[in-house]
Structure 1
Amino acid sequence: MDLPVRYWQMHRLSLSSGVRGYDVRALPIAKEFLQQQATAQLPTQLIDLFQTPDATAVQTQAESGLCLRCYVSQPIVRACQKLANLFGSGHQFSYRDLLPFVLNDDGKQLVVLSEDKTEHLQVDQQNQTQPIAYKAFSIEVLKTYQVDPKKSLSLDNWTYLKTKQHPELKQFLAEFGFQHLSDWAMLNRVRSRQFASLSEPDQNLVTAFHAVYRRDRQQQTVKGPKRCPEPTTAQLTEMRSQLLGDDMSGGLSDTTDRELLTALKQVATQLRQFDVWQSREPLDYFDAASGQYETRSDLPHAAIDVESNEEQAMLEALNAKLAATFPTSLQIAVTARITKLAKSRKYAAFADKFVLGLQHYYRDGLSLKELVPMLGMSSWDQARRILNPGELLNHVRSQTITQLIDHVLELVKANSLAPWPPSPDYLQQLTEQLEGFADAEIFDAAAAEMKSGSHRNFDSHYATQLLQLLDTITPHQPIQD
């Protein structure tokens, strides 16, 4: 029987020859355990074994976990490579510098989780367990993963998401200027170059935000909170009044608080893109006395003229293509799903309820279980097969990234930016970079919302655009291609 090598070969941190990197080691214990398992349902069956405490089967739990630790070690390395590709250009670091933060499992110990999942327990040769202080990141990834078809993220994608969110790794990137400021901090400390890159309606939004939010921040005492909280209802009301009073509402004259928040977040996303792609702005720190973010004095103050930077031209092209591609991909995916349901003998009767179900799921935050009686369905599993918001997200993501890749390859060929036809390595690197770009702009936030449990609040760009699209669809009349 051919065994998937990912479940018994572990990517491990290596310092051989004095160069930090990684190597791949076979773990005989994992391979022997895997030989005894039915591989058709991997990794689901292994996750069930690992996440279910059983005092009578500690060895099985630990060995299934070891197989999974091997499995996630590969996407951990790939996540570091993607982050380095996105942020490392022009800086003195590579993906190898990111590995020690997250690739810290050597596979030498068998480990299980305590019943409440708060402790890592080492398993000895007598199948006895004892707590260990050292916590491997791979086990933290597995501890938080949920095997739930309605929550779409594969174990690979979940590992990638958790790696990007690792606090120490994020702090490392912050040392190079890639700080993970909140949307409100991004808007509060906008620079003149960033402001100039915005459209006039977006500039008006920032001006109103500063007139109210920044004013209130500056009036806070030194003891006030350093983090920039979400604008209050009173602040949002005052911002709308300013926009209307100065006749610069930009189409937001009848906006609600939530719509204004969404518009402000979209502007913050543009500012974040500016930082990521320019990637030369010095690191900021918050000055409690002034209530503003100030530039560190120990870093260079000069910034590259982005107007002459080729990356700015590429950013503009990518932004424009993403803005055009994403809504089209969303429309294609929704239309295809409705058409497929309508042609299905088993689910044709529920085709009309697809739109209504997703509206309640995203707008009202209802779970699939709560939607079962509302939509007249027989079970959660039936609701999942019919609505399946996670599958829809994956289809939209795949379609969007494919179109981005095609567009960039057209630019590469037309401008002779790389040898043609491109090599497989070039295509792989390009794909990873565009996946990272699209995920950071749209799909990571959308996936994280699905994972947030009960009382979810869907306000990502994906959710907002999907609801706008669903509102244009009536039963028996799906949108036209």
Structure 2
Amino acid sequence: MKAPWRYWQLVRLTMQGKRQVDEVFACRDCLDAQFPEAEVADAAVQRQLLALMAEPLPSAEGCLRCYISHEIDRACKDLFMRFGKAAGIPHLEELLILVLLDSDPLRQRPTTPSLADDPTPAGKVLRTFDPDKAQLNTWTKRVVISDRALSHYLQDYGVYLDSDWSLLNGLSAKKLRRLLSEEARVDEAVLQEAEAILQSYQEVYRRDRLASRAETANRSRCEPPTPKQLERMVAHLQQQGITDITAEVLLEQLEQWARLMRRSRRPPTVSIDTPETQQLIDTVESDALTPEEQEAAASQQAFLQSYRDALLKAMDGAIAQTLSHRVATLSQRKPAKDGAFLEGLYRFFCQGESMGAIAPHIGLTAQYQVTRLLNIKALRADIRREMQHTLRQRIGELAQQYVEASDLDDDLDAALDAELERLFSEAEAESFNAYSDQQSLLSQRLCDYLAHRSD
């Protein structure tokens, strides 16, 4: 073992949100009893502890949870060192609070869920770790990096942890044209060839990805295309008359576009463009306020920031719940329609394709069939209803945390209805403007969910 103490020291956050390391004596006793020789390799230690968990031996699970806490801590430190200063992330604890959630490694509290129901990243690591396929440290890092809450937080600071291939899965031909045109002056022939290359990539790679997910419930990270996949892409291009490209050149071109996407991407923002909000922001920035007025204004601004965060979280949750329900329903049809539904939504929201263009890709022949299957209007209505239910509860909780925020609006329901009406009107309006490069917030979050369901 390289560092035995990692199996009996738990890294956790205090109630004040401060990082702290606690020694768990039962875990130390367990490790000393099971491994009196310090020369045992970590892989062997972890394999035996997993076996002891099944007996069950709570202290064995505690040892693994301690080890995982150190790896979560290390993964967050690495992210903070790489991106914190440039992105403006204030503290390491801002990352830890999202993923370092295990404070009861021996599962002694009555409120602590069982491993099967544990929603924390540590619980997910223990449920999914296979010592025959990965090392515990690398598997923990993979789970942390793919954590949705952490990813969304980092995106708010302009940091995207998607693999190149996940990014390219969500790249539309229209967006590629714009990126290439902004980077340099290119003629139409170059743009058309670029579109053909992107199409060949997505036809091969994304189709394989969807097939793998359907057959094996694969949720792994998007890996680089295999040599065989690259050769199939080249063959696809040759059928379209593009014969002067090799697999190596194709791979280099795709990687270059991914780098271009990373440079161009910006974090999604939520705008609350009411006169009251703008007046509040102007007021907070004024130097003419009394200390009491400054405190009240700052409290209201904190409420607004919490409101923005709650809005995004509610939207993401509503999207996930609504689509999961639709997929479950469509999967029961004969033949099942869930795959066609997800592919159609992806092409509509991420690729910007029309209903008619989508039809042949999902086994349909007419535009009206796609319109009926996707039923975008009903989808938006269901998402809005779920959002409204969640936000009413959450905003009530927020208002209790910020006393002054109760003065923000005397009719919270009316304000919430107005805000949701604005958001969903924007989403509906873009349906009538096929040539706009601007996506509504709802469409952005829908695309993000659809593009990363399998990551």
Tell me the TM-score normalised to structure 2 length: 0.43
More helix by share: 2
Tell me the TM-score normalised to structure 1 length: 0.41
More strand by share: 1
